[in-house]
Amino acid sequence: MKRTTLYIVLALIVGLRGGYFLFGGKSSEQENDHNHAMDSDSSQMWTCSMHPQIMQEEPGDCPICGMDLIPAEASADGLAPDQFKMTENAMALANVQTTIVGTTTDGESENMITLSGKITVNAEANTVQASYFDGRIERLNVNYVGQEIGKGQLLATIYSPELVAAQQELLTSASLKSSQPELYQAVRNKLKLWKLSENQINSIESSGRVKENFPIYATVSGTVSELMSATGDYVKKGQPIAKLSNLSSVWAELDAYEGQLSQLKKGQKVMISTNAYPNESFEASISFIDPVLNNATRTVAIRATLNNRNDKFKPGMFVTGKLETDTSSIGNDIINIPSSAVLWTGERSVVYVKAKAEEPIFEMREVMLGRRTGDIYEITSGLESGEEVVTHGAFTVDAAAQLQGKKSMMNKSGGKTMTGHEGHLGIQDDERMSNANEMMKMELPGSFQSYFENVLRSYLALKDSFVASDAKQISNEAKSVLGVLNNLDLSDLGEMEKGHVAKISEMLDIMASKEDLDNQRAHFVILNESFVAIASNLESLNETFYVQQCPMANDNRGAIWLSSEKEIRNPYFGNAMLKCGSVIETLEN
């Protein structure tokens, strides 16, 4: 028994020692591997594929859009100083697309010019209804602008001492017409020169009585465009009573940029479309090209005449004209890229180039723009044929560049702009602010700057209407901003500054005229480009403003806006994506 117990104890000791040698070392190695893995995980950062400015040390949800965070790229070793890398997942979710320059991108848009403008009255069909004798207007039958007048319709009744005397002459000469026919005929001709008809003259003669208040009838048909006299007015011979416009034909006045003029000529066909009839197009021909350039907008007025016998077109309507151009004269050495590839910062135009075809590595490139044809820009310098540029999702790529401290649209020299876990991009130092201001430097008079703060306050109410997604309120607020904007003194502004104000005014006019939320938001994108450019150049502000950006707005091309609150309230999506966006710049004293 004792011997058996001894054998069992010895077996246990041998088993324990063998187990230690067999498994002890491996457990220690596994523990070291686990600790190393923990250290590696602790350095892993997590980001949002749609908002790459978000960087957190732990996985979770994006604080802006709520999407699951993904592992951020841990290293960018081997890249040039201005290059940066994006994850394949981030590119896919943001739908980043690229095009090799020097190849056709869109055959339809490459030879098509799109111009915007308004319907105006055909000045060639304007007429003025005037008084043909001196007198006092006893009754005016034309009461308001827009009133339809037919040929032969009674316009006014006038008391004229001169005409009373002429009627008396007629009655006297009528009794002597057999003996003095020349005198009788001369008196009748005199009344005809005053636009009295044969029937009116015969009526006076047959009645044997003088009419003290004499009627005036319309000599043409048309629509009253201006009232130039009122009841009780004394009018002279030839003085206008009302101006009439014949709206059976109207003009479509379009604005063309000076770079497009070489592709336009009289007689060229243009297809006109309007928001009132979105499913119809109307063919017209260019009848006039203004020989004088508008210095404020740097555009030239192009006119086409439209048949309007069905009264479809109303003066003041916004229209779009599309013209097919001959691109055969464009040289093969000119590089063309889609307009969606270009990010404009005021004085600089930039694109993002894919540095390596097989990897998502990008770098920013400044380019010089030439002529624009439809949605295509000519690039005169900055790109070479065969290079691959980002044509969709450029704002998302730009955000990634800012996050990694590389050169970007608003950061000419590079440098980190991340501000922890606040969910926005901020300005880390004064250098970046000065770079942004240098890029969009404007000369704004002190009086202009002081009054523009009134425009800013009115703008904020408009922006809040977009946040509320209220199309009717947007229209009303756009009218309010336009009213304040119209009081700006533009006399001392330069051409670029006037151009920005003109663009703001044009966009407000469009938003005020049509209560269509999608249409209003599309024009709000354009308005904000000029609005932010001016606001960024104000030297003193009584309150702080934030330039905010949503990379998903404007069909994922990104869009900016101004807010007096740091908190994001997205005007492009409203409640659907209320907190989608980031602060990219702070404007303050």
pLDDT tens digits, residue range 170-217? 888 887 877 888 888 888 888 887 777 788 888 888 888 888 788 888
Give dist(CA 589, CA 585) in Å, integer.
Answer: 13
Q: Contact at 8 Å (CB) between 508 and 485? A: yes
- Judged against a pLDDT cut of 50, whether residue 429 lies above it is answered with no
pTM above 0.75, yes or no: no
User: What domains sit in the chain, N to C, each tagged with a CATH number?
Assistant: 88-111+330-438 (2.40.420.20), 112-122+247-324 (2.40.30.170), 124-245 (2.40.50.100), 444-587 (no CATH)
Query: Is residue 428 over pLDDT 50?
Result: no
C-alpha pair distances (Å), 55 with each of 39, 74, 419 = 18, 12, 9
The better pLDDT of the pair 23, 119 is held by: 119
Sequence-distant contacts of 490-497: CB under 8 A, at least 24 apart:
490/296, 490/448, 492/445, 492/448, 493/443, 493/444, 493/445, 493/448, 494/442, 494/443, 495/295, 495/296, 495/298, 496/442, 497/442, 497/443, 497/444, 497/534
Per-residue pLDDT tens digits for 358-383: 888 899 888 887 766 656 777 888 88
C-alpha 305/C-alpha 286 separation (Å) is 7
Q: What is the pLDDT of residues 136-147, one digit of tens each?
A: 998 898 888 888
Q: How far apart are CA 243 and CA 234, in angstroms?
A: 18
In 240-291 the beta strands, taken as DSSP E runs, fall at 240-245, 249-257, 269-274, 277-289
User: 252: pLDDT confidence band, cut at 50, 70 and 90?
Assistant: very high
Q: Is the pLDDT of residue 570 over 80?
A: yes
Cα 115 to Cα 286: distance, rounded to the nearest angstrom: 12
How much is the mean pLDDT over the chain? Answer: 78
Can you give the pLDDT at residue 77?
Answer: 52
379-417 pLDDT, tens digit each: 888 888 888 999 888 877 877 777 677 777 766 665 443
Q: Pull the structure tokens for residue 185.
A: 């005929």
